[in-house]
Amino acid sequence: MQQPISITGLSSISPLGRKRSQIWESYLKDGHMFTLKETKKGPAPVASLKDRDKDVINKLRNSESKYEHLDDSVLYAIYAARETILEAGWKSDSDFGINIGSSRGATSLFENYHEYFLKKGAAKTLTSPTTTLGNISSWVGHDLQSKGPEISHSITCSTALHSMLNGAAWLQSGLTDKFLVGGSEAALTNFTIAQMQALKIYSKDINDTFPCRALDLDKKNNSMILGEGAAMACLELGKKENAIGTISGIGYATEPLQHNISISTDANCFQRSMQMAIKDMGEENVDAIVMHAPGTIKGDLAEHNAIQKIFCNRIPFLTTNKWKVGHTFGASGMLSVELAILMLQHQQAIEVPYIAPQTKPNKLNNILVNAVGFGGNAVSILLSK
**Mean predicted confidence (pLDDT) in 348-367:** 97
Is residue 241's pLDDT more than 90? yes
As a whole number of Å, the CA-based R_g of the chain is: 20
Is residue 140's pLDDT more than 70? yes
**Mean predicted confidence (pLDDT) in 153-163:** 96
Confidence band for 1, pLDDT divided at 50, 70 and 90:
confident
| Largest Cα–Cα separation, the chain | 63
C-alpha span between 272 and 256 (Å, rounded): 13
Is residue 261's pLDDT more than 70? no
Mean pLDDT of the chain: 95
Confidence band for 262, pLDDT divided at 50, 70 and 90:
low
CATH T-level assignment (fold) for domain 5-384 = Peroxisomal Thiolase; Chain A, domain 1 (3.40.47)
pLDDT given at position 94: 80
**Mean predicted confidence (pLDDT) in 106-116:** 96
pLDDT digits (tens, 9 = 90+) for 31-47: 999 999 999 999 999 99
Q: What percent of the chain has pLDDT over 90?
A: 90
Residue among 215, 180, 349, 370 nearest 277 (CA): 370
pTM: 0.97
Q: Cβ contacts of residue 289 below 8 Å, gap of 6+?
A: 307, 316, 317, 318, 319, 367, 368, 369, 370
Comparing 184 with 256, the larger pLDDT belongs to: 184
pLDDT given at position 207: 83
pLDDT digits (tens, 9 = 90+) for 70-89: 999 999 999 999 999 999 99
Confidence band for 263, pLDDT divided at 50, 70 and 90:
confident
206-210, 339-343, 349-353: least confident range = 206-210
C-alpha span between 353 and 213 (Å, rounded): 10
Q: What percent of the chain has pLDDT over 70?
A: 98
Residue pair 4/246 in contact (Cβ under 8 Å)? The answer is yes
C-alpha span between 319 and 321 (Å, rounded): 7
Confidence band for 148, pLDDT divided at 50, 70 and 90:
confident
CA 326: distance to chain centroid? Answer: 10
pLDDT given at position 10: 98
**Mean predicted confidence (pLDDT) in 246-269:** 84
**Mean predicted confidence (pLDDT) in 370-385:** 93
Q: How many residues does the chain have?
A: 385
**Mean predicted confidence (pLDDT) in 133-142:** 92
Is residue 259's pLDDT more than 70? no
The side-by-side arrangement of strands in the sheet containing 366-373 is: 245-253, 377-384, 366-373, 288-290, 317-319
Residue among 12, 31, 43 nearest 324 (CA): 31
Comparing 10 with 92, the larger pLDDT belongs to: 10
pLDDT given at position 334: 98
pLDDT given at position 147: 84
C-alpha span between 203 and 224 (Å, rounded): 5
Q: Cβ contacts of residue 48 below 8 Å, gap of 6+?
A: 15, 35, 37, 188, 227, 228
What dihedral do alpha carbons 161, 163, 169, 174 form, nearest 10°? -140
Q: Per DSSP, what are the bridge partners of residue 234?
A: 9, 180
State the amino acid at position 364 in one-letter form.
L
Is residue 206's pLDDT more than 90? no
pLDDT given at position 260: 52
**Mean predicted confidence (pLDDT) in 156-169:** 97
**Mean predicted confidence (pLDDT) in 115-120:** 96
pLDDT given at position 2: 80
What dihedral do alpha carbons 331, 333, 336, 338 form, nearest 10°? -70
C-alpha span between 2 and 294 (Å, rounded): 32
Q: Cβ contacts of residue 381 below 8 Å, gap of 6+?
A: 161, 164, 165, 247, 249, 250, 251, 277, 333, 337, 368, 369
Q: Counting Cβ atoms within 10 Å, is residue 17 exposed (0-12), middle (13-18) or buried (19+)?
A: buried
